[in-house]
Amino acid sequence: MCNFKQIKFMKFISHLAFIFILFSTCTLAKNNSDKFFDFSYDESNDKIFLYVDKIDYEFMYIGSLSSGVGSNDIQLDRGQLGSEKIVKFIKRGNKLLLIEPNQKYRASSKNNSEKKSVEQAFAKSVIFGFEILETDMGVYKIDLTPFLMYDRHGVSNRLKETNQGDYIIDLSKSAIEINNTKAFPENIEFEALLTFTGEAEGDWIRSVSPDPNFVSVIQHHSFIKLPDSKYKPRAFDPRSGAIHISFMDYSVPVDENINKKYVIRHRLEKKNPKSKISEAIEPIVYYLDPGTPEPIKSALLDGARWWNEAFESIGFKDAFQVKLLPDDADPMDCRYNVIQWVHRSTRGWSYGASIVDPRTGEIIKGHVSLGSLRIRQDFLIAQSLLKNPYKNQDISNEMLEMSLARIRQLSAHEIGHTLGFAHNFTSSTADRSSVMDYPHPLITLKNNEISLDNAYAKGIGEWDKVTVAYSYSEFLDGQNEKV
Ligand SMILES: [Zn+2]
């Protein structure tokens, strides 16, 4: 972190290209030049100042929860993503306004007047206004603290909607989480501890809060550089099994559908596009929460890695990888696709969410949340199916094996959503052809006794290879994607 004078100094020096002076006199200034935005922290006032040197420059913003409430019914989970927005700072008078242009209505024409006519026709949203505190050489200093302390994730609304009470943020009990506030070349991550105060009315919030009149969570904010324009959107087809984004394009010819749809998918390109089998320029890497205990950890890794076979079937080698998240990495950092093991007071949903570029459908980050009580419920199901379930260790192992087999499926399923794939609720009756179903345990009889050996399928299904082929196959220049 640097102060404003250091940043001005850095810009002046870099303009003159005296790079050696930069290295030798100001390490902080050198670091600043690598950051997506610069910021400083005033500890005596608990304030974050942002130094905005990019005006009319679009980037992505997302607010999320890094620390949640822990109730499945309220649904404010650890690691829960909000909705992504493309935003930009614009300057008006002594203010910088953070504005969200409208992505739902567009003109893909190269004619700027045509684009402008659509831009002016639909509403935009200014999501925050900042007073400019200092200006120099095109850098504007603003106080970002009120933005970080705003209930961006909608915690108050959620508590109200679920009849838990009327809560408002108490700033005297809220603060910046400076240790988890970090800047990188293509993203900057902020965190703030927010305390919501109110008269608790619901049992759910009472059951998960030490003092239900004071509910504290940690809100995370990411400013993310938009990906480059080399990514090519892929048209959606209802037969593809893909999840899609959509928008209205007023430039398309009259005889074409004005509603455009693109599949959501990660960027994946072969190192050698002409080779039948090639490694990827950048593989898709997912990172598992290191807080997951064994033997669950190994089962989740196994299930997640099944997807690599589907990528192999379209000629990618090691293009889909799963590793443990390093201890010093932040799961909310937008650079990591993560699989989080999420605890709640009762059994709840697992889900796969993604941060998606709304212009193209490119997935920036996949974020899988797996409810930790699920495996205990699967164990109870197995227990209810077996004869003399408390009899001996072999039976206990059989129950555990069935539970682990189910969460291998769960791991693959939720990752599948974050790779861009929708449900397939018929696949269990079609030779278990997809992990994107909700599989029931398949019970067989062995020596007239119930056997759980084949309760859940192992590995990726044939349908999953079809969906991967549709969304991720690479086409050479001149090849027609549509045929
Ligand atoms: Zn699902």
Q: What is the tens place of the pLDDT at every residue in 150-175?
A: 999 999 999 999 999 999 999 999 99
Spacing, Cα 424 to ligand 1 middle (Å): 9
Q: pLDDT value at position 28?
A: 31
301, part of any domain:
yes
Identify residue 128 by its one-letter amino acid code. F
Q: How many domains does the chain have?
A: 2
272, part of any domain:
no
d(C-alpha 86, C-alpha 102), whole Å: 9
Q: Examine the domain organization and report whether 315 and 434 are in the same domain.
A: yes
d(C-alpha 366, C-alpha 372), whole Å: 19
16, part of any domain:
no
Q: Examine the domain organization and report whether 314 and 462 are in the same domain.
A: yes
Spacing, Cα 407 to ligand 1 middle (Å): 13
d(C-alpha 304, C-alpha 416), whole Å: 9
Q: Examine the domain organization and report whether 218 and 320 are in the same domain.
A: no
Spacing, Cα 414 to ligand 1 middle (Å): 6
287-331 residue pLDDT tens: 999 999 999 999 999 999 999 999 999 999 999 999 999 988 889
Q: Examine the domain organization and report whether 319 and 381 are in the same domain.
A: yes
Spacing, Cα 152 to ligand 1 middle (Å): 26
Six token digits for residue 28? 């902080």
**Domain endpoint, select from 181, 199, 224:** 224
Spacing, Cα 340 to ligand 1 middle (Å): 16
Identify residue 374 by its one-letter amino acid code. R
Q: Examine the domain organization and report whether 84 and 199 are in the same domain.
A: yes
**Domain endpoint, select from 224, 247, 264:** 224
Spacing, Cα 383 to ligand 1 middle (Å): 25
Q: Examine the domain organization and report whether 347 and 444 are in the same domain.
A: yes
Whether the Cβ atoms of residue 221 and residue 215 lie closer than 8 Å to each other: no
Spacing, Cα 79 to ligand 1 middle (Å): 17
15, part of any domain:
no
256, part of any domain:
no
Domain that holds residue 47: 35-224
463, part of any domain:
yes
| Whether the predicted model's global pTM rises above the 0.75 cut | yes
Q: pLDDT value at position 58?
A: 97
Q: Examine the domain organization and report whether 410 and 289 are in the same domain.
A: yes
Q: pLDDT value at position 278?
A: 96
Q: Examine the domain organization and report whether 450 and 327 are in the same domain.
A: yes
Rg (CA), the chain: 25
Spacing, Cα 436 to ligand 1 middle (Å): 6
Q: Examine the domain organization and report whether 307 and 218 are in the same domain.
A: no
Q: Examine the domain organization and report whether 304 and 192 are in the same domain.
A: no
Q: What is the CATH number of the domain that holds 416?
A: 3.40.390
Q: Examine the domain organization and report whether 77 and 216 are in the same domain.
A: yes
Q: What share of the chain is helix, strand, coil (3-state, %, to 5)?
A: 25, 30, 45
271, part of any domain:
no
d(C-alpha 353, C-alpha 301), whole Å: 18
d(C-alpha 29, C-alpha 10), whole Å: 6
pLDDT < 50: residue spans in the chain? 1-32
377, part of any domain:
yes
Spacing, Cα 230 to ligand 1 middle (Å): 30
Q: Examine the domain organization and report whether 325 and 217 are in the same domain.
A: no
